[in-house]
Amino acid sequence: MPKTKKNSSFQSIKGMHDILPSEQLYWEKIRKELKETAEAYNFLRIDTPIVENSDLFQRSLGETTDIVEKQMFTFQSRGGDKLTLRPEGTAGIMRSYIQYGLSHLGQPLKLYYDGPMFRYEQPQAGRYRQFNQAGFEIIGGGDEPIYDIQVILPIFRLLENLKIKNLIIHVNTIGCKNCRPAYRKKLIEYYKNHQKDLCKDCNRRFEDNPLRLLDCSNSDCAEIRKEAPAILDDLCNNCHKHFKSFLEYMEELGLPYELDSHLVRGLDYYNRTVFEIFTSGVSEEGKSFDLALAGGGRYDYLAEMLGGRSTSATGGAIGVERIVEALKLLKINFGARPKAKVFLINIGDLARKKSLALLEDFIRAGVRASESLGKDSLNAQLRAADKEGVEIALILGQKEAFSDSVIIRDMKSGVQETVLIKKAVAEVKKRLK
């Protein structure tokens, strides 16, 4: 047969990765911890669609944010609606909250979720175009800082339970609609005099999003920033009290935090408390890393922005791929997948027919069993059994098939015994004890 040369083959879309069987242990563990943590802290699960109206994100995230300007996967439906693959989880949840009047479920309402998000970005380490976030939201019930803490706590505990070390919570406040505009003005005022010394990115930020001037890493800009007004000095009374109280809770709980006056989140819907959680360290290969694992903040204006009643809210999300990345860097493993205990070997047509039914008996009895029905030789099948590391092999050959019996072979000792097929499950169970 002449070989046909493939001149094209499919591969996954840029920035969208497969989670292969070899990685699934991480994901299973994370999902399990997420569910347990969320339930321990009384959060209710919510799942919202992956696709929403583009307007939902435009209005909630802000027209001039990077996400809306250039990172959304937007398309038109056959009906002509402009739709977008969700770039984050909060907007959809708030939409659902308003749509179904979820305030009736009680206030505050604590919700959690996890699922894929989409952003059209340049992929690199720990950054994908399709990625998974797990998040916690607390909606309604007032804007007390204790709710900010109640979002940070489960996120932090979840990371802790996954054995991720060196966690540090960067916190800041970005004020409210009363004090932020004044501060913004002051900031612009200050930077206007230094505009010519700023890097070109900062000149762009100056126009679009002045708060972002605060986290440029350019050394000249950093120099200028030293003298820049700090928002902490310009908070209104309420915001000041709010943040102070928030910090007191952090202290009280002994959570490792760091005041980071440059932390300003990119999305418009945030106000007051903002936070990001990092882990850092040195991998076994000697590579040092500093990973942002989670982030969030208060978003008291979002409900109104979406046409709902004014409702306080706060939340945060974890980047699941980032966690997997951290677990790999830290060489954290969670044990192996449970293996099959029994391997069923068959030789000959009659035996093969009977072995399938026998396999069913084991599955129904809750004994993990494996087989290699496609192989013919006893050797090959024993080898396969050995590779799977089973304790017991069942050999169903022609002779046995005729007498409705089967050989039970202890793989370690090599001791064998022939029993009737209908007694096989019971006999094997006895041995596995």
Partner RNA sequence: GUGCCUGUGGUUCAAUGGUAGAACUCCGCUCUGUGGCAGCGGCGACACGGGUUCGAUCCCCGUCAGGCACCCCA
Structure tokens at 338: 């449970």
Any contact of residue 341 with RNA (CB under 7 A)? no
Q: Which residues, 6+ apart, have CB-to-CB distance to 1 below 8 Å?
A: none
Q: What does the alpha-carbon distance between residue 169 and residue 294 come to, in Å, rounded to a whole number?
A: 9
Report which residue type is found at 87. Answer: P
* Choice from 149, 171, 239, 385 touching RNA (CB under 7 A): 385
Q: Is residue 398 near RNA by the rule CB under 7 A?
A: yes
Q: Between residues 88 and 137, which has the closer beta carbon with respect to RNA?
A: 88
Considering the rule CB under 7 A, would residue 431 count as an interface residue with RNA? no
CA pair distance 416, 407, nearest whole angstrom: 6
User: Which residue is it, tokens 């996967």?
Assistant: 73
Note whether 184 binds RNA by CB under 7 A: no
Q: Which of 329, 384, 408, 425 binds RNA (CB under 7 A)?
A: 384
Q: Is 361 in the site for RNA (CB under 7 A)?
A: no
- At its nearest, how many Å lie between RNA and the CB of residue 194? 17
Q: Which of 356, 363, 380, 426 binds RNA (CB under 7 A)?
A: 380
Query: What is the phi-psi region of residue 6: left when phi exceeds 0, alpha when psi lies from -120 to 50, beta otherwise?
Result: beta
Q: Which of 406, 383, 411, 381 is nearest to 394 (CA)?
A: 406
CB of 335 to RNA, least distance (A): 21
3-state secondary structure of 238: helix
Closer Cβ to RNA, 237 or 413, answer by number: 413
Least Å distance, CB 8 to RNA, is 7
Minimum distance, C-beta of residue 222 to RNA, in the bound complex (Å) = 10
Beta strands in 140-250 (DSSP E): 167-173
Report the C-alpha gap between 51 and 117 in whole angstroms: 10
91 touching RNA, by CB under 7 A: no
Nearest to 153 by CA among 55, 268, 38: 38
Nearer to RNA, 184 or 240 (CB): 184
How far apart are the C-alpha atoms of 372 and 345, rounded to whole Å? 7
Q: Is residue 295 within the footprint of RNA (CB under 7 A)?
A: yes
**What residues from 191 to 250 belong to the interface with RNA (CB under 7 A)?**
201, 205, 212, 215-218
Q: Please identify which residue in the block is written with the tokens 């019930």.
A: 141
User: 315 forms bridges with which residues in the sheet?
Assistant: 137, 297
133, 150, 173, 279: which one binds RNA (CB under 7 A) = 133
Burial label, 433 (beta-carbon count in 10 A; 0-12, 13-18, 19+): exposed
Question: Nearer to RNA by C-beta: 193 or 219?
Answer: 219
Question: Among 162-170, 317-325, 331-339, 352-360, which window interacts with RNA (CB under 7 A)?
Answer: 317-325
Which of 51, 230, 397, 431 binds RNA (CB under 7 A)? It is: 397
Q: What are 257's two structure tokens?
A: 């935090």
Q: Where does this chain bind RNA (CB under 7 A)? A: 3, 7-8, 11-15, 65-67, 88, 119, 121-128, 131, 133, 201, 205, 212, 215-218, 265-267, 276, 292-295, 317-319, 321-322, 347, 375-380, 382-387, 395, 397-400, 407, 409, 411-414, 416
